[in-house]
Structure 1
């Protein structure tokens, strides 16, 4: 039996998980990851992951997206 790790305990999230975690659409998160010097993007080969703690900090400091 595989134990599923809760999203708030993961270090990195997929775009789908970040959308579920933040209640922001996948397209908007993909657009945010394309920003120059995005502080919460992590490239694993061609795959993009979201650094959860940096993403949370970004959302706390943002007024609108």
Structure 2
């Protein structure tokens, strides 16, 4: 019988290395990550999960010139979380 193991919140993912079908070694990879609700800027995947809006819709909204809640880091598009929250609070529909 296998024991249930509780993992710390910092464990982001695990990797299983199997030499045979019956023998597997699981390696836990700890990542010091900041919770999404404390981040100032979110990537599209994080913003989609946090706000419940599709990635394609976020991409369309941030393609506009002078978008007040997008921050470009080279080709990487980041959503300014607080500015986007204010935008959503004042919007009727998107």
Please indicate, yes or no, whether the TM-score normalized by the shorter chain is above 0.5: yes
Deviations 1:3-55 (A, max 9, x none): 22111100100000000010000000000101221100101011111011101
Q: Summarize the alignment of residues 1-65 of structure 1 with structure 2, pairs less than 5 Å apart.
A: 1-65=30-94
Unaligned runs of 5+ in 2: 1-29
Q: How far, CA to CA, are the matches of 1:11 and 1:3 in structure 2? A: 16
Give the structure-1-normalised TM-score.
0.93
Q: CA RMSD in A?
A: 0.9
Q: Name the residue aligned to 2:7.
A: none
Unaligned runs of 5+ in 1: none
Higher helix proportion (structure 1 or 2):
1
Structure index of larger Rg = 2
Q: Structure 1 segments of 4 or more deviating over 3 A?
A: none
Give the structure-2-normalised TM-score.
0.66
Between 1 and 2, higher relative CO (CA 8 Å, sep ≥ 6) is seen in: 1
Q: How many residues align?
A: 65
